[in-house]
Structure 1
């Protein structure tokens, strides 16, 4: 896929305690690599990936990989507001990381207003299930996801299981929210951007959405 051709840019933030495997998930998704040892994130790291969400509609995904340690929180908090999507990640073999998910969700939610962030809950290190290291049951995780009103996915950066599917699920949910008007393109907010050079082609691709409610915001109409 030509990386110069994209219609939308979505900024996605990785959230969760230190060492739950956020960086490993991004490495697996963007490069299809798994490293046994990966440097702990200091502040924020950036990754870019491209995804075609439907024929002719390409999204540039800009991932912000945040440090989970409290001492970096003042830095990472500054990135919340300009995010349109968030992966709430916990380590299935680490009970405390699961217990902290509500705190992460609340912290972001309070700081992004009036904008909206589309979340999914991710249970990382699903390969531990077969090794007897699981500390959080699927039922518990699905219950929490229900309380937060988000989907739940179990993944493994080590094996690659369900990693691609989880990231694509979130991306498509953001895209659907944008098309329905739940997420709006707004000046001064970088959660979603539209590529100026794609204006004509993009308008053509949105022709089938002319029957959507009048309050639906179409990206490039605001450019």
Structure 2
């Protein structure tokens, strides 16, 4: 039932890594040049943001709902193209009353993941506002954007296909990639995390080797052997 990213994604042409990224990583250890990648998970309450992160980081799912009243932070180390890449997951509360407190933590995001509940269409419409608010806090950094429909296991095939089609249009309007998942069953969860981690890593490498940035560090990285 759940499909991966489509041709409507703004990142559809990036299915693996840029060829230059592969070449650089084959010959140089770039780990020390990367800041930690910041991924924020935002969206209405009860959409399963915490469940989504826990499914990936802990391979677990809690049946009982527990509201997120503070920012949950998880750090995970990835091995991408034989390069250590650190990714921090910031799981934000969805309550409107807490938004003034948490909104400042939207800043400096490399990836914005807006989660909505596929069984509650209104949360998809609210996803537009969440994305716009997060982008307003990151107006100069151009973070990667994802719209994620959670709880795909609770819909019939017909209902799922109809809502997913609508979600893809909204994602396209927001220049975001769309994917449907099930935190409960784990469907597409690993693919989602691999996808935005790969894209963020590729973007980090490309930024590093762009002429304006590369001139600052070329003497260091050109003489550094692969560990």
CA shift, 1:214, in A, is 1.1
**Partner secondary structure for residue 211 of structure 2:** coil
Inter-partner Cα distance in structure 2 for 1:39 and 1:135: 29
Partner of 1:126: 152
Greater share of helix:
2
Inter-partner Cα distance in structure 2 for 1:218 and 1:24: 43
Inter-partner Cα distance in structure 2 for 1:11 and 1:37: 28
User: CA, structure 1 residues 131+219, in 2 after alignment: closer, same or farther (shift >3 Å)?
Assistant: farther
Q: Aligned residue pairs: how many?
A: 187
Structure 2 segments unaligned to the other structure (5+ residues): 1-30, 221-227
Structure 1 segments unaligned to the other structure (5+ residues): 1-5, 185-211
TM-score by length of 1: 0.76
CA contact (8 A) 2:112 2:134 kept: no
CA contact (8 A) 1:93 1:135 kept: no
Partner of 1:149: 175
Inter-partner Cα distance in structure 2 for 1:84 and 1:218: 23
Partner of 1:105: 131
Inter-partner Cα distance in structure 2 for 1:77 and 1:53: 30
CA shift, 1:115, in A, is 2.2
CA contact (8 A) 1:179 1:217 kept: no
Partner of 2:89: 63
CA contact (8 A) 2:112 2:131 kept: no
1:81-114 C-alpha deviation (Å, 9 max, x unpaired): 1221111111100111100111011101111222
Inter-partner Cα distance in structure 2 for 1:176 and 1:118: 11
TM-score by length of 2: 0.75
Partner of 1:96: 122
1:44-69 C-alpha deviation (Å, 9 max, x unpaired): 11112222222x21222111110001
| Structure 2 residue 191 is the aligned partner of structure 1 residue 165 | yes
Inter-partner Cα distance in structure 1 for 2:216 and 2:177: 25
Partner of 1:214: 211
CA shift, 1:176, in A, is 1.7
| Structure 2 residue 24 is the aligned partner of structure 1 residue 27 | no
